Amino acid sequence: MDVKAYMVEVGKAARKAASVMAAVSTERKNKALLSTIDALNTQRDMLIRENQKDLDQARANKLQPAMVDRLALTPERIDGMIEGLRQVATLDDPIGVINDLKFMPSGIQVGKMRVPLGVIGIIYESRPNVTVEAASLCIKSGNATILRGGSEAIHSNNAIASCIATGLSAAGLPETAVQVISTTDREAVGELITMPEFVDVIVPRGGKGLIERVSRDAKVAVIKHLDGICHAFIDSDADIQKAYDIVLNSKTQRYGTCNTLETLLVDTSIADAVIPGLAERFTAKGVELRGCEKTLEILVGAKEATEEDWSEEYLAPILSIKVVNGMDAAIQHINHYGSHHTDTIITESYTKGREFLTRVDSSSVMINASTRFADGFEYGLGAEIGISTDKIHARGPVGLLGLTSEKFVVFGDGHIRT
Amino acid sequence: MDVKAYMVEVGKAARKAASVMAAVSTERKNKALLSTIDALNTQRDMLIRENQKDLDQARANKLQPAMVDRLALTPERIDGMIEGLRQVATLDDPIGVINDLKFMPSGIQVGKMRVPLGVIGIIYESRPNVTVEAASLCIKSGNATILRGGSEAIHSNNAIASCIATGLSAAGLPETAVQVISTTDREAVGELITMPEFVDVIVPRGGKGLIERVSRDAKVAVIKHLDGICHAFIDSDADIQKAYDIVLNSKTQRYGTCNTLETLLVDTSIADAVIPGLAERFTAKGVELRGCEKTLEILVGAKEATEEDWSEEYLAPILSIKVVNGMDAAIQHINHYGSHHTDTIITESYTKGREFLTRVDSSSVMINASTRFADGFEYGLGAEIGISTDKIHARGPVGLLGLTSEKFVVFGDGHIRT
């Protein structure tokens, strides 16, 4: 197979479909989503049968059980995909909205119209339900999409793609608006990320290795999420009960997510009052604590944190703790060691809260709230295609708006420039 | 000189200055701009003396007279720089604005705060006044900037930079918030565009060669402007007088700008009525017309347009004309041959105007207005750092907002996620 030639064909078809999708009514986009639900419902047996092929292969290849589990399409996961489609169908359509339409001194009226980006390439690993999630957001935002799932999920992804194609077709939309790359050849990824003539943006979803590789080699804009090294800072004016609740929730509600707390900073003047109580609660939950020198004076016998700890995303029941001398030191630590993802301050001080909000350079900055809230659903975006740790284009949880751009529209009545 | 080591020092200083600039009050940023005005006024003789060195060198190097002219700092051009600074000082400060602050079902309040991008690298060619323009927009938007002007303007740029440093210093801001690269070694550009740890975005301003080189080699996001192949489409329902006015203004108000008309599309049903009158007016202005086959049936003896003409940015008194069969053909031509910059329809039809606006995939789409309006000042942005033909991040004229991003801010009262 000539992968390059194949990808050019895919790219051309996507570009063509994108020009149709850009001008489609909300009603037809929603019909495509709802018809995909019908197709998934009708094809449940087929989906599970095709998924079984991937599962058999995965077990034969001795994939780790956790990976095999992520790959599995259970009836509940199909229900989840259907519920996701229904939710995206209920979201407001951002496309075509004109904002800030104003008269200018010359007499022309100028505004900004929300438009799709065009063609979005999405590269992801095992979970086949991402196929539906990503496709539904791209359809609703009027984009065409090229999906490249993990090779271990190829049968499942093709099966899901056939249901999406049925849905698009039922709404009179081009089936090529959502294309799943049919080859597992890795060269296809290399082509996908270097075809700016056909692809407007790439969203890599997966491990750090994948994202770094894509970012390094892409010739197309990338909306990416790297580390989530999140901090909580317990200020000297913190309410101690709130500190306990927020820090515990931020760390222990789930260990493996990017918005999980990894480093706790505590103002030196409140350290004695707060660290022992926190340590007790964390120990009860089985969380390992690694402290700075001053922390160890309070938690005698605890493990010492090394320099590496401050920039590690544990994704595990481990928390590093550092006692700092005031908010300024906390902010400097966060901006230096953090990953600009999500950071929270616990304080009752109006002034310090305000300053923390301004000076912490992260995609989500919080006062008296758990870092675990950094999420498209919790932020009211309805759904998210990912969380961006970049500053350009989209920052933080990326919903439908992140898949759009704005163009200027100008209304005149024969106006000329003098 | 070790260029790499030098650029790392510049990058580090910029990153440090950026963290200060991000939290500076509007008043102090404006003070820096107004103090720069004072410095420019005080240092007029020095500026002209330093500029003379560049001019002497340019003439010795036998630069083209047009290039030498662009390089010259006349008293009027210094006045222009001062006026530009004054205007940027009057613009609203976008930084810190919180939008869409809403309560979520969980009880947290979520909004988006406008923040600077961080460090902006700007690469430009001869005109030294760009140094002030670019620096002022970066200061006002709370960014640090690294400026790399043309080597032929190095004395002028250093002289201007010293005035900006005086201005920053008078406002108590770090002088390193605006750095002009002091070496003319081309390796410095290569370093600047591949230091994502120190630079958040690159804005190349100059010829197509420069922009293509920067885009190809950058490891940092690029806000770029390539071609301006702009179209006007005279629809069958056009008002002929408006068509004459708009098309003439779009083409002839200035020939060398990116928003100048390059190709005129005319609906076949109105071609006989409108082309001869237009041709007469263009001929009187000395504009060469190049027509498609059907155009030549009307303008017997005119020059024939080749396939290359449809994708050429003339930047000269030349216009290509194509007769098309309806608006659909016009839109297809624009989306295929155009550069997604600025396109206008002349029509009295409500329905066709609406469809043109939706389907033309360009950064500015107009109805009954001259393409020459596509400009940051005309759009009320106050000033522009450039015009983007990209879709990601910023599209069309880029003003202060294009140099910013938004972060999520979350207000809780001890809220945790359940």
Note whether B289 and B303 are within 8 A (CB).
yes
The fold for domain B3-223+397-410 equals: Aldehyde Dehydrogenase; Chain A, domain 1 (3.40.605)
Of B137, B196, B110, residue with least CA distance to B407: B110
How many A-B residue pairs are in contact by the CB < 8 A criterion?
Answer: 225
Domain map of chain B by residue range? Answer: 3-223+397-410, 230-373
In tens, the pLDDT along A155-179 reads 999 999 999 999 999 999 999 999 9
Under an 8 A CB cutoff, do A200 and B392 touch?
yes
User: pLDDT at position B265, please?
Assistant: 98
Closest Cα in chain B, distance from residue A60 (Å):
38
B240 touches chain A (CB under 8 A): no
**Looking at residue A357, what is its pLDDT?**
96
Could you tell me the sign of the dihedral formed by the alpha carbons of B23, B29, B31, B37, in that order? positive
Contacts of B387 in chain A (CB under 8 A): none
Q: Do B415 and A368 touch (CB under 8 A)?
A: yes
pLDDT of residue A228: 92
What's the pLDDT at A386?
A: 85
CB distance from B364 to chain A under 8 Å? yes
What gap in Å lies between CA A34 and CA A12, rounded to an integer? 27
Backbone angles phi, psi at B28, to 5 degrees: -70, -35
**What mean pLDDT is predicted for residues A245-255?**
97
Give the residue carrying structure tokens 């500026």: B47
Interchain contact, A406 vs B417, CB within 8 Å:
no
How many whole angstroms separate alpha carbon B372 and alpha carbon B259?
Answer: 5
Q: Compute the distance between CA of residue A270 and CA of residue A258 in angstroms, rounded to an integer.
A: 28
Residue A276's nearest CA partner among A301, A305, A304 is: A301
CB of A113 within 8 Å of a chain B CB? The answer is: yes
Q: Which contacts (CB < 8 Å, 24+ apart) does range A56-59 have? A: A57/A152, A58/A152
Tell me, yes or no, if B336 comes closer than 8 A to chain A by beta carbon: no
Q: Which of B122, B158, B159 is nearest to B137 (CA)?
A: B122
- What SS3 string covers chain B? CCHHHHHHHHHHHHHHHHHHHCCCCHHHHHHHHHHHHHHHHHCHHHHHHHHHHHHHHHHHCCCCHHHHHHHCCCHHHHHHHHHHHHHHHHCCCCCCCEEEEEECCCCCEEEEEEEECCEEEEEECCCCHHHHHHHHHHHHCCCEEEEECCHHHHHHHHHHHHHHHHHHHHCCCCHHHEEECCCCCCHHHHHHCCCCCCCCEEEEECCHHHHHHHHHHCCCEECCCCCCCEEEEECCCCCHHHHHHHHHHHHHCCCCCCCCEEEEEEEHHHHHHHHHHHHHHHHHCCCEEEECHHHHHHCCCCEECCHHHHHCCCCCCEEEEEEECCHHHHHHHHHHHCCCCEEEEECCCHHHHHHHHHHCCCCEEEEEECHHHCCCCCCCCCCCCEEECCCCCCCEEECHHHHEEEEEEEEEEEECCC
Contact partners, residue B1, CB within 8 Å, separation at least 6: B183, B185
Q: Is pLDDT above 90 for A379?
A: yes
Percent of chain A with pLDDT over 70: 100
A136 three-class SS: helix
Chain A environment of B397 (Cβ under 8 Å): 408
What average pLDDT does chain A have?
95
Residue A377 at interface with chain B, using a CB cutoff of 8 Å: no
pLDDT at A109 over 80: yes
pTM metric for this prediction: 0.91
| CATH fold of B230-373 | Aldehyde Dehydrogenase; Chain A, domain 2 (3.40.309)
Residues of chain B with pLDDT under 50: none
- B66 in reach of chain A (CB within 8 A): no
CA distance readout (Å), A377 to A88, A383, A387: 11, 6, 12
The whole-number pLDDT of residue B225 equals 81
- Please choose, from the candidates B114, B118, B175, B181, the residue with its C-alpha nearest in 3D space to the C-alpha of residue B149: B181
Q: Is A207 exposed, middle or buried (0-12, 13-18, 19+ CB in 10 A)?
A: exposed
Write out chain A residues lying below 8 Å of B350, CB-based. Answer: none
> What are the tens digits of pLDDT across the range A392-405?
898 999 999 999 99
B4 touches chain A (CB under 8 A): no
Chain B positions touching A118 (Cβ under 8 A) are 361, 391
What does the pLDDT read at residue B1? 83
Q: For residue A319, which of A347, A289, A340, A349 has the smallest C-alpha distance?
A: A289
CA dihedral sign of residues B264, B266, B270, B273: positive
A391 at B interface, C-beta within 8 A: yes
Convert the pLDDT of each residue in A304-348 to its tens digit.
999 999 999 999 999 999 999 999 999 999 999 999 999 999 999
Residue B208 is predicted with a pLDDT of: 83
Q: Give yes or no for a contact between B413 and A414, defined as CB atoms under 8 angstroms apart.
A: no
Cβ of B372 within 8 Å of Cβ of A412? The answer is no
Taking the CA atoms of B228, B234, B235 and B241 in sequence, report the sign of the dihedral they define: positive
Check residue A306 and give its pLDDT: 97
Q: How far is A287 from chain B (nearest CA, A)?
A: 18
CB-based contact, A410 to chain B, within 8 Å: yes
Picking from B351, B352, B334, the residue whose alpha carbon sits closest to that of residue B343 is: B334
Is the pLDDT reported for residue A128 higher than 80? yes
A38 or A125: which leads in pLDDT:
A38
A49-58, A380-389, B385-394, range with greatest mean pLDDT:
A49-58
pLDDT (0 to 100) of residue B387: 87
CA of B150 to nearest chain A CA: how many angstroms apart? 26
Q: Do B367 and A410 touch (CB under 8 A)?
A: yes
> Is A126's pLDDT higher than 80?
no
Structural contact between residues B232 and B221, judged by C-beta atoms closer than 8 angstroms: no
Contact B372 A417 (CB under 8 A): yes
A120 and A416 in contact (C-beta within 8 Å)? no
Q: Alpha-carbon dihedral of residues B9, B12, B16, B19, nearest 10 degrees?
A: 150
Report the candidate in A411, A414, A363 with the shortest Cα–Cα distance to residue A113: A411
B 248-267 near A (Cβ less than 8 A): 248-249, 253
d(CA B414, CA B416): 7
